[in-house]
Chains A and B, each alone.
Chain A
Amino acid sequence: MIEYALNLIMKNGMDGIVSNEKSIEKQVKFYNGKVEIIKEWDETILKIFMARKNKKIFFNVDNPTKAKIREAIERNMKILNIVSPSEYHGIQDKRNYVNRKKFDSRVIDSNAMVEIAEDAISQNAKAGIVFSSIYEKEIANSNGVMEKDRNSMIYLSARAFYRNSSMHDVSCSRSVEGIDSSIAENAYETAKKAGKARRIKEGKYDVIFYPMAFANLMASVASFASAFYVDAGYSFLADKLNKKVGSDALTIYDDGTLYDGIASQKFDDEGNATQATCIIENGILKSYLHNSTTASKYNTITTGNAGIVAPHPWNVFVEKGSFGIEQMMEGFEGIIITNVWYTRFQNYRNGDFSTVARDAIFRVDKKGMHAVKGIRISDNMQRILENIEMLSKQQKQIFWWEVETPVFSPYAMVKDVSITTP
Chain B
Amino acid sequence: MIDEDLAEYALKISKADYTEVRLEEIKGNEISYVGELKGVESFHHCGFSIRIIKDGLLGFSFSNIVNRKKIREAVEKAMKNRARKKHFVRFGNEKMEEGKDIVKGKDADIDEKIEYIRELDSISKNQKSFFYQDEIMEKFYMNSEGAKIYSKIPRVALYYLVTKSNGRIEQMSREFGNAGGWEKIKEWNVEEKLEHDAKFLSDLIKKGRKASRKGSVILSPYITGLIAHESCGHPWEADRIWGREAAQAGKSFVKPSMLGKKFGNEMISVIDEPAIKGSYGYYKYDDEGIKARKRYLIKNGIINEFLHNRHTAHLMGSESNAAARAAYGREPIVRMANTYFLPGDYSFEEMIEGVKNGVYIKTYMEWNIDDMRYNQKYVGEEAYIIKDGEIAGIAYHPAIEFTTPFFYRNVAAVGKNLEFYAATCGKGDPMQGVPVTTGGVDIRIDNMVIK
A198: min CB distance to chain B, Å: 14
Kindly identify, within residues 18 to 37 of chain B, every residue whose CB is under 8 Å from any CB belonging to chain A: 32, 34-37
A135 touches B (CB below 8 Å): no
Provide the residues of chain A in CB contact with B451, threshold 8 Å: 420
A238: min CB distance to chain B, Å: 9
* Known A82-B109, A159-B247; further 8 A-B contacts with Cβ < 8 A: A34-B87, A40-B78, A43-B47, A63-B65, A86-B40, A87-B36, A341-B370, A350-B169
Q: A28-B83, A420-B401 are in contact. Are A37 and B42 (CB under 8 A)?
A: no
Interface flags, B388-428, vs A, CB<8A=1, else 0: 00000000010101110010000000000000000000000
Kindly identify, within residues 155 to 211 of chain B, every residue whose CB is under 8 Å from any CB belonging to chain A: 161, 163, 165, 169-171
B46 touches A (CB below 8 Å): yes
Sorting the interface of chain B by its residue count into under 10, 10 to 19, 20 to 34 or 35 or more gives 35 or more
The reply to whether B37 and A86 form a contact with Cβ atoms under 8 Å apart is: yes
Q: Report the separation of the CA atoms of residues A99 and B301 in the bound assembly, to the nearest whole angstrom.
A: 60
The reply to whether B43 and A60 form a contact with Cβ atoms under 8 Å apart is: yes
The reply to whether B39 and A344 form a contact with Cβ atoms under 8 Å apart is: no
The reply to whether B431 and A34 form a contact with Cβ atoms under 8 Å apart is: no
B102: min CB distance to chain A, Å: 23
Instruction: For the complex of A and B, list the 9 residue pairs with the smallest distance between their C-beta atoms, beginning with the closest.
Output: A86-B37, A309-B39, A342-B368, A127-B246, A346-B366, A35-B83, A38-B81, A37-B58, A232-B129
Which residue in A43, A82, A87, A356 is a CB contact (below 8 Å) of B368?
Answer: A356
A105 touches B (CB below 8 Å): no
The reply to whether B36 and A44 form a contact with Cβ atoms under 8 Å apart is: no
Which residue in B57, B77, B169, B399 is a CB contact (below 8 Å) of A40?
Answer: B77
Which residue in B44, B62, B329, B370 is a CB contact (below 8 Å) of A59?
Answer: B44
Give how many A residues have a beta carbon under 8 Å from the other chain's beta carbons.
84
Number of A-B contacts (CB under 8 A): 251
A33 touches B (CB below 8 Å): yes
Provide the residues of chain A in CB contact with B40, threshold 8 Å: 56-58, 79, 83, 86
A213: min CB distance to chain B, Å: 14
B433 touches A (CB below 8 Å): no
Provide the residues of chain A in CB contact with B375, threshold 8 Å: 356, 374, 376, 421-422
Provide the residues of chain B in CB contact with A345, threshold 8 Å: 365-366
Q: Which residue on B lies nearest to A33, using beta carbons?
A: B85
B125: min CB distance to chain A, Å: 14
A42 touches B (CB below 8 Å): yes
A411 touches B (CB below 8 Å): no
Which residue in A85, A126, A233, A422 is a CB contact (below 8 Å) of B401?
Answer: A422
SS class, residues of chain A in contact with chain B: strand
Q: A82-B110, A159-B247, A376-B368 are in contact. Are A44 and B64 (CB under 8 A)?
A: yes
Q: A31-B243, A37-B331, A38-B57 are in contact. Are A110 and B399 (CB under 8 A)?
A: no
Q: Report the separation of the CA atoms of residues A341 and B370 in the bound assembly, to the nearest whole angstrom.
A: 8
Q: Which residue on B lies nearest to A352, using beta carbons?
A: B366
A410: min CB distance to chain B, Å: 24
Kindly identify, within residues 56 to 90 of chain A, every residue whose CB is under 8 Å from any CB belonging to chain B: 56-63, 72, 76, 79, 82-87
Q: Which residue on B lies nearest to A42, using beta carbons?
A: B63
Q: Report the separation of the CA atoms of residues A193 and B243 in the bound assembly, to the nearest whole angstrom.
A: 22
The reply to whether B87 and A36 form a contact with Cβ atoms under 8 Å apart is: yes
The reply to whether A84 and B77 form a contact with Cβ atoms under 8 Å apart is: no
B111 touches A (CB below 8 Å): yes
Interface flags, B110-135, vs A, CB<8A=1, else 0: 11001100100000000111000000
The reply to whether B371 and A358 form a contact with Cβ atoms under 8 Å apart is: yes
B16 touches A (CB below 8 Å): no
Among A114-122, A175-183, A241-249, the one that faces the other chain is A114-122
The reply to whether A308 and B39 form a contact with Cβ atoms under 8 Å apart is: yes
Q: Report the separation of the CA atoms of residues A82 and B108 in the bound assembly, to the nearest whole angstrom.
A: 12
Provide the residues of chain A in CB contact with B59, threshold 8 Å: 37-39
Which residue in A72, A118, A159, A356 is a CB contact (below 8 Å) of B369?
Answer: A356
The reply to whether B247 and A168 form a contact with Cβ atoms under 8 Å apart is: yes
The reply to whether A234 and B129 form a contact with Cβ atoms under 8 Å apart is: yes
Provide the residues of chain B in CB contact with A32, threshold 8 Å: 87, 242-244
Provide the residues of chain A in CB contact with B83, threshold 8 Å: 28, 34-35, 38, 114, 117-118
A354 touches B (CB below 8 Å): yes
A353 touches B (CB below 8 Å): yes
Provide the residues of chain B in CB contact with A57, threshold 8 Å: 40-42
Interface flags, B360-378, vs A, CB<8A=1, else 0: 0000011111110001110
Provide the residues of chain B in CB contact with A60, threshold 8 Å: 43-45
Provide the residues of chain B in CB contact with A61, threshold 8 Å: 44
Q: A309-B38, A347-B171 are in contact. Are A31 and B163 (CB under 8 A)?
A: no
The reply to whether A86 and B36 form a contact with Cβ atoms under 8 Å apart is: yes
The reply to whether A84 and B115 form a contact with Cβ atoms under 8 Å apart is: yes
Q: Report the separation of the CA atoms of residues A173 and B369 in the bound assembly, to the nearest whole angstrom.
A: 30
Q: Report the separation of the CA atoms of residues A402 and B118 in the bound assembly, to the nearest whole angstrom.
A: 34
Provide the residues of chain B in CB contact with A56, threshold 8 Å: 39-40
Provide the residues of chain B in CB contact with A168, threshold 8 Å: 247
Provide the residues of chain B in CB contact with A344, threshold 8 Å: 365-368
A194 touches B (CB below 8 Å): no
B82 touches A (CB below 8 Å): yes
A355 touches B (CB below 8 Å): yes
Q: Which residue on A lies nearest to B82, using beta carbons?
A: A114
Q: Report the separation of the CA atoms of residues A232 and B244 in the bound assembly, to the nearest whole angstrom.
A: 37
Provide the residues of chain A in CB contact with B61, threshold 8 Å: 39-42
Which residue in B42, B170, B369 is a CB contact (below 8 Å) of A342?
Answer: B369
Interface flags, A10-50, vs B, CB<8A=1, else 0: 00000000000000010111111111111111111100000
Q: Which residue on A lies nearest to B248, using beta carbons?
A: A401
Kindly identify, within residues 51 to 105 of chain B, every residue whose CB is under 8 Å from any CB belonging to chain A: 57-66, 70, 74, 77-78, 80-87, 89
The reply to whether B247 and A63 form a contact with Cβ atoms under 8 Å apart is: no
Provide the residues of chain B in CB contact with A28, threshold 8 Å: 83
The reply to whether A35 and B86 form a contact with Cβ atoms under 8 Å apart is: yes
The reply to whether B42 and A118 form a contact with Cβ atoms under 8 Å apart is: no
The reply to whether A62 and B45 form a contact with Cβ atoms under 8 Å apart is: yes
B429 touches A (CB below 8 Å): yes
Q: Which residue on B lies nearest to A231, using beta carbons?
A: B34
Q: A129-B247, A354-B366 are in contact. Are A58 and B41 (CB under 8 A)?
A: yes
Provide the residues of chain B in CB contact with A376, threshold 8 Å: 368, 375, 377, 401
A378 touches B (CB below 8 Å): yes
The reply to whether A86 and B38 form a contact with Cβ atoms under 8 Å apart is: yes
Provide the residues of chain B in CB contact with A79, threshold 8 Å: 40, 42, 110
25 contacts between A and B (CB under 8 A): A31-B245, A36-B86, A38-B60, A40-B61, A40-B77, A42-B61, A42-B70, A42-B74, A44-B64, A84-B37, A85-B37, A87-B38, A110-B80, A118-B84, A118-B85, A127-B247, A228-B34, A308-B39, A309-B38, A344-B367, A346-B379, A349-B165, A349-B171, A376-B401, A401-B431
Kindly identify, within residues 321 to 371 of chain A, every residue whose CB is under 8 Å from any CB belonging to chain B: 341-350, 352-356, 358
Kindly identify, within residues 315 to 355 of chain B, every residue whose CB is under 8 Å from any CB belonging to chain A: 329, 331
A162: min CB distance to chain B, Å: 13
Q: Which residue on A lies nearest to B401, using beta carbons?
A: A422
Q: Report the separation of the CA atoms of residues A341 and B245 in the bound assembly, to the nearest whole angstrom.
A: 15
A128 touches B (CB below 8 Å): yes
The reply to whether A59 and B86 form a contact with Cβ atoms under 8 Å apart is: no
Q: Which residue on A lies nearest to B70, using beta carbons?
A: A42
Q: Report the separation of the CA atoms of residues A352 and B90 in the bound assembly, to the nearest whole angstrom.
A: 47
A307: min CB distance to chain B, Å: 9
The reply to whether B171 and A41 form a contact with Cβ atoms under 8 Å apart is: no
The reply to whether A29 and B429 form a contact with Cβ atoms under 8 Å apart is: yes
Which residue in B44, B57, B368 is a CB contact (below 8 Å) of A355?
Answer: B368
A131 touches B (CB below 8 Å): yes
Q: A87-B38, A358-B370, A376-B368 are in contact. Are A233 and B129 (CB under 8 A)?
A: yes
Interface flags, A118-147, vs B, CB<8A=1, else 0: 100100001111010000000000000000
